[in-house]
């Protein structure tokens, strides 16, 4: 079967890497892809939300499966676009319907869903420009720190955690009245602050059944010791060492099952990944957020541990028969470390030549922001290359990744040297 992966990051290179290994895959396309996907698939220069160009490609190349990497096309309804088109309706799309994608597209929608299904999460209320005064009064009833979340997609920047009540009130005003995050902050969710350690679980569901993929922990801040600005993610470790069977049982029973059952009960068409951001408060898991896709860079640590054929898994998603699958996993730990362009997540330069990739043999190299410039590989984004390694012991796996990274060079390359410091 011919398969298309949508996206251009490390996550999509990892999807392509796994799919290319499957005997079920004939020709693999990635749109738009990067220099890493170009080496194992055919890159097509089409944007991930250009549905009509995607349709044309799918028909021309007889593509039967589309794996959607990022959230934007999902929130814009790519699954519904395929399902409602006579020529496309038999193509398997890995990614939920527009309705399902609201779990990520609207914080309020997600909170209402969580409460409807009695899934543990922080208490909250939501406010609009009309109710900004009530919002300020609500803040008065809470204790610091104050958590303000823009309702809509804000490129990972829409969450503010503030210590000072006056600052929290001002920011609420900024978000609602002055549209600090544009349309995304026309509504704001104010949440109880949860104190604990974060982790993520990943689920692949066909809308009825599901398989639980390995857990992972990512490192979001740019600076060592989890300091400085938020990024898309500077590295990830899978599995999360502090998750034992008892805690995993709680996650399964209190969070994963009610989530999948809730989607089924509400007839929400959901065939794809659910990435559940959790916080361990005391001994109990609580949901911080849903994402309707895999995480990046979590994918670079999670998917290499999945031994079951990925295309076969996706076929079971398409035929709603995931209950027939037992997931085979590599029991070793996988760690991925992201190298980034100097300056990221603020302004950075692109087009720097990357060398040393071919001298890395102990780790897997996943490209994120890279592209081909004639016969050179050059930087093309903030996050540039992720380096994944395996070992029984996650600290040894990290060491391998760090040794491999030393072989890699580009001008102003930066990476965090302290991953795992908190474990």
- Output the smallest distance, CB 289 to ligand AMP, in A: 4
Chain centre to alpha carbon of residue 387? 17
* The one among 44, 142, 159, 281 contacting ligand AMP by CB under 6 A: 159
- Output the smallest distance, CB 110 to ligand GLY, in A: 14
- Cα Rg of the chain, angstroms: 21
Instruction: With contacts defined by CB under 6 A, name the span among 32-40, 243-251, 293-301, 347-355 that binds ligand GLY.
Output: 293-301
Nearer to ligand GLY, 156 or 182 (CB): 156
Q: Are 87 and 60 in contact (CB under 8 A)?
A: no
- Output the smallest distance, CB 189 to ligand AMP, in A: 9
Nearer to ligand GLY, 33 or 232 (CB): 232
Q: Which residues contact 354 (CB under 8 A, 6 or more apart)?
A: 370, 376, 377, 378, 379, 384, 385, 408, 409, 410
Classify burial at 338, counting beta carbons within 10 Å of its beta carbon; exposed 0-12, middle 13-18, buried 19 or more.
buried
Nearer to ligand AMP, 7 or 295 (CB): 295
Q: What is the DSSP letter of 355?
A: B
User: Mask of contacts with ligand GLY, 232-271, x by CB under 6 A?
Assistant: xx--------------------------------------
- Output the smallest distance, CB 230 to ligand GLY, in A: 10
Nearer to ligand GLY, 6 or 377 (CB): 6
User: Mask of contacts with ligand AMP, 169-198, x by CB under 6 A?
Assistant: ----------------------x-xx---x
Among 117, 109, 96, which Cα is nearest to 257's? 117
Q: Is the dihedral of CA 139, 141, 147, 152 positive or negative?
A: negative
- E strands within 50-186? 63-68, 92-94, 124-128, 146-150, 159-162
Show the tokens assigned to 410. 């580009």
Show the tokens assigned to 40. 């194992």
Q: Which does residue 198 touch among ligand GLY, ligand AMP, none (CB within 5 to 8 A, set by kind)?
A: ligand AMP
For residue 277, state whether it binds ligand AMP (rule: CB under 6 A).
Answer: yes
Report the half-sphere exposure of 135 (CA within 13 A, side-chain side).
27
Which helix (H) or strand (E) element contains residue 20?
helix 10-20
Distance between CA atoms of residues 141 and 159, nearest Å = 20
Residue for token pair 């900024």: 174
How many residues does the structure list for the chain? Answer: 423
Nearer to ligand GLY, 7 or 233 (CB): 233
For residue 296, state whether it binds ligand GLY (rule: CB under 6 A).
Answer: yes
Q: What is the DSSP letter of 206?
A: -
Nearer to ligand GLY, 151 or 218 (CB): 218
Distance between CA atoms of residues 24 and 36, nearest Å = 21
For residue 218, state whether it binds ligand GLY (rule: CB under 6 A).
Answer: yes
For residue 391, state whether it binds ligand AMP (rule: CB under 6 A).
Answer: no
Q: Which does residue 194 touch among ligand GLY, ligand AMP, none (CB within 5 to 8 A, set by kind)?
A: ligand AMP
Q: Which does residue 111 touch among ligand GLY, ligand AMP, none (CB within 5 to 8 A, set by kind)?
A: none
End-to-end Cα distance, the chain: 42
For residue 295, state whether it binds ligand GLY (rule: CB under 6 A).
Answer: yes
Can you say whether residue 320 is alpha, beta or left, with left for phi > 0 and alpha for psi between -120 and 50 degrees?
left
Nearer to ligand AMP, 122 or 176 (CB): 122
Nearer to ligand AMP, 82 or 219 (CB): 219
For residue 147, state whether it binds ligand AMP (rule: CB under 6 A).
Answer: yes
User: Mask of contacts with ligand GLY, 22-61, x by CB under 6 A?
Assistant: ----------------------------------------
Where does this chain bind ligand GLY (CB under 6 A)?
Answer: 218, 232-233, 291, 295-296, 298
């Amino acid at each position: 079967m011919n398969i298309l992966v949508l996206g251009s990051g490390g996550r999509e290179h990892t999807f392509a890497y796994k799919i290319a290994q499957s005997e079920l895959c004939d020709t693999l396309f990635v749109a738009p892809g990067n220099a890493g996907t170009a080496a194992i698939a055919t890159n097509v220069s089409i944007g991930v939300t250009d549905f009509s160009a995607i349709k044309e490609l799918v028909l021309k190349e007889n593509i039967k499966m589309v794996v959607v990497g990022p959230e934007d096309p999902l929130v814009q309804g790519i699954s519904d676009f395929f399902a409602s088109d006579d020529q496309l309706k038999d193509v398997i799309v890995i990614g939920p319907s527009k309705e399902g994608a609201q779990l990520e597209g609207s914080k309020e929608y997600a909170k209402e869903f969580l409460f409807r299904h009695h899934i543990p999460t922080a208490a909250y209320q939501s406010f609009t420009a009309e109710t900004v005064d009530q919002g300020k009064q609500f803040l008065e009833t809470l204790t610091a720190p104050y958590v303000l979340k823009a309702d809509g997609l804000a490129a990972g920047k829409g969450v503010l955690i503030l210590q000072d009540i006056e600052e929290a009130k001002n920011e609420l005003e900024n978000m609602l009245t002055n549209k600090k995050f544009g349309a995304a902050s026309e509504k704001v969710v104010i949440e109880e602050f949860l104190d604990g350690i974060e982790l993520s679980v990943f689920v692949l569901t066909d809308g009825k059944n599901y398989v639980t993929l390995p857990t992972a922990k990512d490192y979001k801040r740019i600076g060592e010791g989890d300091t400085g600005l938020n990024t898309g993610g500077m590295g990830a470790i899978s599995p999360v060492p502090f998750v034992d069977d008892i805690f995993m049982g709680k996650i399964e029973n209190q969070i994963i099952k009610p989530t999948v059952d809730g989607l089924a009960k509400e007839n929400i068409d959901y065939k794809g990944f659910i990435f559940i951001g959790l916080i361990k408060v005391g001994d109990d898991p609580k949901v911080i957020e849903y994402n309707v896709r895999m995480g990046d860079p979590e994918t670079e640590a999670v998917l290499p541990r999945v031994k079951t054929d990925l295309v076969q898994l996706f076929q079971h998603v398409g035929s709603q028969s995931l209950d027939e699958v037992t997931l085979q996993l590599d029991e070793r730990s996988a760690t991925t470390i992201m190298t980034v362009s100097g300056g990221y997540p603020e302004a950075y330069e692109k087009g720097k030549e990357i060398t040393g990739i071919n001298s890395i043999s102990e780790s897997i190299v996943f490209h994120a922001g890279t592209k081909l410039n004639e016969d050179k590989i050059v930087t093309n984004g903030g996050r540039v290359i992720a380096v994944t390694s395996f070992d029984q012991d996650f600290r040894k796996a990290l060491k391998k990744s760090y040794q491999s990274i030393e072989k890699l060079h580009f001008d102003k390359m930066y990476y965090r040297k302290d991953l795992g410091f908190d474990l």
